[in-house]
Structure 1
Amino acid sequence: MSLWTRITEAVSALANGEGLSAVFDRLRTPPERSVAFAIAVIALGAKMAKADGQVTRGEVTAFREVFQIAHEDEAGAARVFNLARQDVAGFEEYAARIKTMFRGDTDALCDLMEGLFHIAMADGNYHPDEDRFLERVAEIFGLSGGQFQRMRCRFVPGAAPDPYQVLGAQPGDPLEAVRKRYRALVRETHPDRMMARGVPVEAMRLAEKRMTAINRAWEQIEAAHAQ
């Protein structure tokens, strides 16, 4: 059974008049967590979107930055998107329920935040309102300011990201300590670890950009120490 079939089933199980936010109270254990992860990214992405009316093809395309959505599954993704936008519950309530759903698993919540950054940057622009939205979601998730800044520096164009910031290290740290931090991040980004946290196979591209940034940061630091 595909991820999108399972998502459709989870949404169809909602009682008449029940908001999409109710899903977050039910999907808390494997294998439902992969369904929960996808719904959480789409739902918060919908809350972040500004367009009115029905979901556009461009908005569905944005989710392809996170998920591999086949043409026949677009209707299911659009349905979740529109249910979230129509739900009277605000994004802060969504974020709080999602944190509870993942039992405060910081790594899983960071994975989810990266999905939202992918969506925010799908059009090539990072609006100040998106920044405020994502910073508030990260705060509700219980992520530190440093964790949020590290993600933002990897996704948002501008000044080249500081390699130490990418790795969550300090310039004065011994090289061996930075190496250990780098290796820990590589382990956290391994597909098996991400799947265990609930990231669906369809969203494994989340790891690609992270791994590229992690490797580049370590190479820069290692090269600087070799000089």
Structure 2
Amino acid sequence: MRIWGKFFGFAIGFMFGRIIGGLIGLWLGHLYDKKSAQLSGIIGKGANRQALFFNTTFAVMGHVAKASGQVTENDIRIATMLMDQMQLEGEARKEAQKAFNEGKASDFDVKACLKTFRIISMGRRELLQMFLEIQIQTALSDAELDPKEHAILLTIAQELGYSRSQLDELLKRWQAEFNFHRGGGGNQTSISDAYDLLGLSESSSDQEVKRSYRKLMNEHHPDKLVAKGLPEEMMELAKRKAQDIQAAYDRVKTDRGMR
């Protein structure tokens, strides 16, 4: 409990105004203590948010991987690849592996885990979407989506405030991103995949193309995501996502002859 503001407020107030001054000082000190506690809580949450994002990501990944009945070699490869991309070593890698294994457990309470994550994340949309996209990547690591995997992804999406249609749109965009990578990501890549990655169609106007590009780049800007709670180890993932968006936009611009 914070009492120093009250103590000094009362003491100073009493010196200048006796009892009345002391009471006024006590009240002002109370306001100071309250504000100080709020600020401390915000800072504490900010420090914990990155650790929670880190652990929740790998725990839920383990849960998603187990959804189809068993964790496959491909599931483990995706988790390992993610750890490699984040350059996790030593204790940090052990923590990620521990969280992944906890998520695989039959008694893992994914809803409780996600509720805590959403609260600590303070509803930051870009952060929640980045988290959901990582889980989508896990589920689609074998290029197929098992009905049980889709059901769990829907649970995750809804717990984070996303509808079924929003989840399906993200699934479509991720599949397009997978195809985009497989095609090399350049001008030889299917133009339809480039449009899908941007969440657009070939009938979209140039203005809609620009608007969607700016929105997606804003949502996936690495520095912005880290400031909102994305662990710095995961910045590389955000950078790659932003690069894919940029490449898809360049592909569409070239096809349309846009400046």
TM-score for both structures, normalised by structure 1: 0.69
Aligned identity (percent) is 22
Read off the aligned partner of 2:170 and give its amino acid letter. Answer: M
Q: CA RMSD in A?
A: 3.3
Where structure 2 has 5 or more consecutive residues not aligned to the other structure, the ranges are: 1-42, 181-189
Where structure 1 has 5 or more consecutive residues not aligned to the other structure, the ranges are: 1-26
Find 1:194's aligned residue among 222, 225, 238. Answer: 225
Find 1:149's aligned residue among 168, 183, 186. Answer: 168
Q: How does 1:1-227 map to 2 (within 5 A)?
A: 29-50=45-66, 51=70, 61-64=80-83, 67-86=86-105, 88-122=107-141, 124-128=142-146, 129-156=148-175, 157=178, 162-169=193-200, 171-226=202-257
Distance 1:155 1:180, change over 3 A: closer
Mapped to 1, the partners of 2:44 and 2:132 lie a distance apart of 18
1:125 deviates by: 4.4
TM-score for both structures, normalised by structure 2: 0.62
Mapped to 2, the partners of 1:222 and 1:83 lie a distance apart of 45
Q: Is the 8 A contact 1:164 1:217 kept in 2?
A: yes
SS in 2 for 1:199: coil
Distance 1:166 1:62, change over 3 A: same
Q: Is the 8 A contact 2:65 2:138 kept in 1?
A: no
Read off the aligned partner of 1:155 and give its amino acid letter. Answer: W
Distance 1:67 1:115, change over 3 A: farther
Distance 1:205 1:103, change over 3 A: same
Distance 1:218 1:61, change over 3 A: same
1:66 deviates by: 5.8
Distance 1:218 1:150, change over 3 A: farther
Q: Is the 8 A contact 2:194 2:248 kept in 1?
A: yes
Which residue in 2 is equivalent to 1:5? none
Q: Is the 8 A contact 2:173 2:196 kept in 1?
A: no
Mapped to 2, the partners of 1:146 and 1:214 lie a distance apart of 21
Higher percent of residues as helix: 2
Read off the aligned partner of 1:81 and give its amino acid letter. Answer: F
Q: Is the 8 A contact 2:58 2:99 kept in 1?
A: yes
SS in 1 for 2:87: coil
Mapped to 2, the partners of 1:146 and 1:169 lie a distance apart of 15
Q: Is the 8 A contact 2:63 2:103 kept in 1?
A: yes
Q: Is the 8 A contact 2:83 2:93 kept in 1?
A: no
1:192 deviates by: 1.1
Mapped to 1, the partners of 2:77 and 2:253 lie a distance apart of 41
Distance 1:60 1:176, change over 3 A: closer
Mapped to 2, the partners of 1:150 and 1:207 lie a distance apart of 19
Mapped to 1, the partners of 2:139 and 2:84 lie a distance apart of 10
Mapped to 1, the partners of 2:98 and 2:209 lie a distance apart of 44
1:212 deviates by: 3.2
Larger RCO, structure (CA 8 Å, separation 6 or more): 1
Between 217-226 and 196-205, the greater mean CA deviation after superposition: 217-226
